[in-house]
Amino acid sequence: MDRTIFTGFEIPAASLQSLIGLAIVLTIPTYDRIFVPIARAITRKPSGITMLQRIGTGMLLSVICMVVAALVEKKRLETAQEYGLVDMPNVTIPMGILWLVPPYVLSGIADVFALVGLQEFFYDQVPIELRSVGVALYLSILGVGSFLSSFLVSAIEAATGGIDGQASWFADNVNRAHLDYFYWLLAGLKMAISTVDTPPLFHTVDGAVDFKGRPVLRYDSGRWRAASFIIGVEVAERFAYYGISCNLITYLTGPLGQSTATAAENVNAWSGTSQLLPLLGAFVADSFLGRYRTIVFASLIYILGLGLLSVSAMLSSTSTSDYVRIKTTLDSSHELQTILFFFSLYLVAIGQGGHKPCVQAFGADQFDGQDPEECKAKSSFFNWWYFGVCGAAAVTVLVLSYIQDNLSWSLGFGIPCIVMVVALGIFLLGTRTYRYSVKGHGKSPFLRIGRVFVNAVRNWRTSPSAIAIEEEALGILPHRSSGQCRFLNKALLSPHGSNEEGEVCTFSEVEEAKAILRIAPIWVTSLGYAIVFAQISTFFTKQGATMDRTIFPGFEIPAASLQCFVGLSIIILIPIYDRIFVPIARAFTRKPAGITMLQRIGTGMIFSIICMVVAALVEKKRLKTAQEYWPVNMPDATALMSVWWLVPQYVLSGTADVFTMVGLQEFFYDQVPMELRSVGLGLYLSILGVGSFLSSFLVSVIDEATGGDGQDSWFADNLNRAHLDYFYWLLAGINGAALAAFLYFARSYIYNRRVTI
């Protein structure tokens, strides 16, 4: 551009930067002596506006600066084209350099607001002892910004410089470059950053305190920062749990020498106990210890159980060879080792019972359901929670099943113990960041809800007209939920027909009881899904053990490692569900979570039925192959059928989990009274526990019914003579009937009033 000030004198291009300094020198006194007093009179704030408002104003001026710079550059390029100077970069364009003064001045004014505001903010908002560090953090913003600018220039240069021989945005011939495009891009980036919501610094969260019992600040607690600690703990805990459960049936049928049916029953019994004990753990947490303390104590029990389990496996390995030779009797030492093994196993179940419901509820507590943004984050929390859980499961079945099968069972059980010690340390590190729910000073929620049922039974003879009058007086007739379970409304009256203080239940207490009663049909109808879920670690694994598991000559994958496909499919599908499916569904349904929780659960049940159908067809194919190529009385022979045939049923199981398991977690957390959320998650886990017991009961009954008269049962030790395909068809039918019942109850279900997802 033309930099001539007068004949024979041109100013250097870099000297224009002095205009930034001049703008700052002129603007700061104006800001301090004129703007601040005027703003102070309006806002009643000592500084006129807050530090963040000052920074935001500077960002806005910076956006305007980039817009003006883009327009000036566009004008410069048009002038070069008009005078035919595009290919003459060294020729001065007839356009005065004073056109660049506005962008420089705007940049200086933006600095007065943003840079000075950042200095004050980072000095003031850090602890007193760290104020030098605070100022350094402010300076690091400029340093990182320079690196990001360099990266942007490099990326854009690479992206725009090689397209059909065209000049890049930063061509050496500036007349062919497009700095205007770059300025528009920067304006857009700054606008995007400026519109990010910054949480108010000193807003507290209702119903939550910090670890010292003080009101907790929203900006400095909870949310994803605290939840990440808790998710990390759960990932480690699931690594430990699946390190035992995924290959347990192999240990029972191998070193302990149990039959297939007996081992499956023991696995289901232990799994069922593990999933039912969370009800007890949740009760202890919600009534006495609180979630944080329950997690700590349960983790210590968990670690003790894992350590003893490793010791028992180490001891039993010394007597395994003797036991294999003598199958009819067990010596006293082996009996002691077996007792220690099962004692340790159920000690792990007790630890898991306290750990599991409290950790997830504690994680969800880090998001305030009354805040719109945190409410959306809470819905995503359940997705990413299960993502982490299944990621841990996938790693576990790949690594630990190989170690257990090929190296050492004691090492395979010892590694989870070490991981749980690390998990407890991680959890304790986040203590200062957590939000702790305030425990009410009133009656226990169990007592409140129990009193509603007792009073309703005592008032069973109360006339409908008396109840209707009380309902109308309380204003509960217009709401649909009050029309369900109306017999509980009898608790609103005293046994003698009067509203005596202390005997009559409140409307909120009755609604709490109704909430518990309404979820009961959902709990029952989900059991069919839980029975299918129990098969992954039992018969699916035994199927894989009879098939060709060779990956390359000399290397076979453990049968239990196929369970990693459940985790892998979940890891792939959850981001797709959360980032693609939910936004698309939200556009149609106008619901924050895309679809309702019950719709999500029902969709997973459909996938579960398909999973059982596919499993039955694959097993039928396996039996046919075994009969075709091998005598059926050779159970140890590997069928000439690749283990990859089992992958579809594992993937379908993972797909079903993305919908049903996550949906059940969210449903039972959200739909119970707030003080019973640990119990709610305990109820969700109890579905899996009861499902495991029902699976064990089914196996026992069917084994007894089909194994008589010298016939091989459906679960014969020789799987080539068994009929797992019949069992899978039966499970598909059971799950189909459960789905029909679920849909019936889901259609009439009314969500709690507070639900926003």
Task: Mark whether 740 and 673 lie in a shared domain.
Answer: yes
The answer to the question of residue 477 being in a domain is: yes
> What tens digit of pLDDT does each residue of 147-168 get?
888 888 888 888 887 656 677 8
> What tens digit of pLDDT does each residue of 707-734 get?
767 677 887 877 788 888 898 999 999 9
Of residues 752 and 716, which shows the higher confidence score? 716
Query: How far apart are alpha carbons 400 and 239 in whole angstroms?
Result: 9
The answer to the question of residue 379 being in a domain is: yes
- Mean pLDDT, residues 290-300 taken together: 88
- Kind and range of the H or E run holding 556: strand 555-556
Q: Is the pLDDT of residue 318 over 60?
A: no
Q: Which of 505, 527, 557 is a domain's end point?
A: 505
Q: How far apart are the first and last CA of the chain?
A: 59
The predicted pLDDT at position 319 comes to 47
Which has the minimum average pLDDT: 68-77, 418-427, 545-554, 651-660?
545-554
Q: Is the pLDDT of residue 312 over 90?
A: no
Task: Mark whether 521 and 499 lie in a shared domain.
Answer: no
Task: Mark whether 483 and 377 lie in a shared domain.
Answer: no
Of residues 187 and 5, which shows the higher confidence score? 187
* 54, HSE (Cβ side, Cα atoms, 13 Å): 24
Q: What is the mean pLDDT of the chain?
A: 79
pLDDT tier at 736 (50, 70, 90 boundaries)? very high
- Mean pLDDT, residues 202-229 taken together: 75
Task: Mark whether 146 and 239 lie in a shared domain.
Answer: no
pLDDT tier at 582 (50, 70, 90 boundaries)? confident
> What tens digit of pLDDT does each residue of 68-87 get?
999 998 998 888 888 888 88
Of 499, 490, 451, 519, nearest in space to 668 by CA:
519
pLDDT tier at 322 (50, 70, 90 boundaries)? very low
151-176 core/surface letters (b: 16 or more CB in 10 A; e: else):
eeeeebeeebeeeeeebbbbbeebbb
Q: Which of 454, 477, 505 is a domain's end point?
A: 505
Task: Mark whether 498 and 527 lie in a shared domain.
Answer: no
CATH of the domain at 736: 1.20.1250.20
Range of the domain at 466: 462-505
Q: Is the pLDDT of residue 395 over 70?
A: yes
Q: Is the pLDDT of residue 330 over 70?
A: no
* 552, HSE (Cβ side, Cα atoms, 13 Å): 0
Greatest mean pLDDT among 50-59, 459-468, 527-536 lies in 50-59
> What tens digit of pLDDT does each residue of 466-499 get?
666 655 565 554 444 455 666 777 777 766 554 4
pLDDT tier at 66 (50, 70, 90 boundaries)? very high
Q: Is the pLDDT of residue 31 over 50?
A: yes
Task: Mark whether 656 and 724 lie in a shared domain.
Answer: yes
pLDDT tier at 656 (50, 70, 90 boundaries)? very high
The answer to the question of residue 397 being in a domain is: yes
Secondary structure (H, E, C), 181-239? HHHHHHHHHHHHHHCCCCCCCCCEEEEEECCCCCEEECCCCCHHHHHHHHHHHHHHHHH
Query: How far apart are alpha carbons 715 and 263 in whole angstroms?
Result: 11
Query: How far apart are alpha carbons 532 and 612 in whole angstroms?
Result: 8
- Mean pLDDT, residues 507-530 taken together: 85
Task: Mark whether 494 and 524 lie in a shared domain.
Answer: no
The answer to the question of residue 206 being in a domain is: no
Task: Mark whether 303 and 384 lie in a shared domain.
Answer: yes
The predicted pLDDT at position 279 comes to 77
- Mean pLDDT, residues 447-475 taken together: 70
> What tens digit of pLDDT does each residue of 276-288 get?
788 788 778 877 7
- Amino acid letter at 81? Q
Domains contained in the chain, number? 4
The predicted pLDDT at position 304 comes to 92
Look up residue 602 and give its two tokens.
């029902």
- Mean pLDDT, residues 580-609 taken together: 88
Task: Mark whether 624 and 670 lie in a shared domain.
Answer: yes
Q: Is the pLDDT of residue 299 over 80?
A: yes
* 665, HSE (Cβ side, Cα atoms, 13 Å): 24
The predicted pLDDT at position 195 comes to 57
- Mean pLDDT, residues 653-676 taken together: 85
Greatest mean pLDDT among 275-289, 413-427, 500-514 lies in 413-427
Of 559, 534, 530, nearest in space to 661 by CA:
530
Task: Give 285's DSSP letter.
Answer: I
pLDDT tier at 666 (50, 70, 90 boundaries)? confident
The answer to the question of residue 215 being in a domain is: no
The predicted pLDDT at position 476 comes to 53
Going by C-beta distance under 8 Å and a sequence separation of 6 or more, which residues neighbour residue 249? 263, 264, 267, 537, 538, 541, 542
The predicted pLDDT at position 368 comes to 79
The predicted pLDDT at position 134 comes to 78
The predicted pLDDT at position 321 comes to 44
pLDDT tier at 604 (50, 70, 90 boundaries)? very high
The answer to the question of residue 500 being in a domain is: yes
Task: Mark whether 86 and 235 lie in a shared domain.
Answer: no
The answer to the question of residue 732 being in a domain is: yes
Q: Is the pLDDT of residue 379 over 50?
A: yes
The answer to the question of residue 512 being in a domain is: no
Task: Give 551's DSSP letter.
Answer: E
> What tens digit of pLDDT does each residue of 222-269 get?
788 888 888 888 888 888 888 888 778 778 877 777 777 777 778 777
Query: How far apart are alpha carbons 251 and 320 in whole angstroms?
Result: 11
Q: Which of 441, 471, 489 is a domain's end point?
A: 441
Task: Mark whether 272 and 418 lie in a shared domain.
Answer: yes
pLDDT tier at 636 (50, 70, 90 boundaries)? low
pLDDT tier at 603 (50, 70, 90 boundaries)? very high
Task: Mark whether 373 and 475 lie in a shared domain.
Answer: no
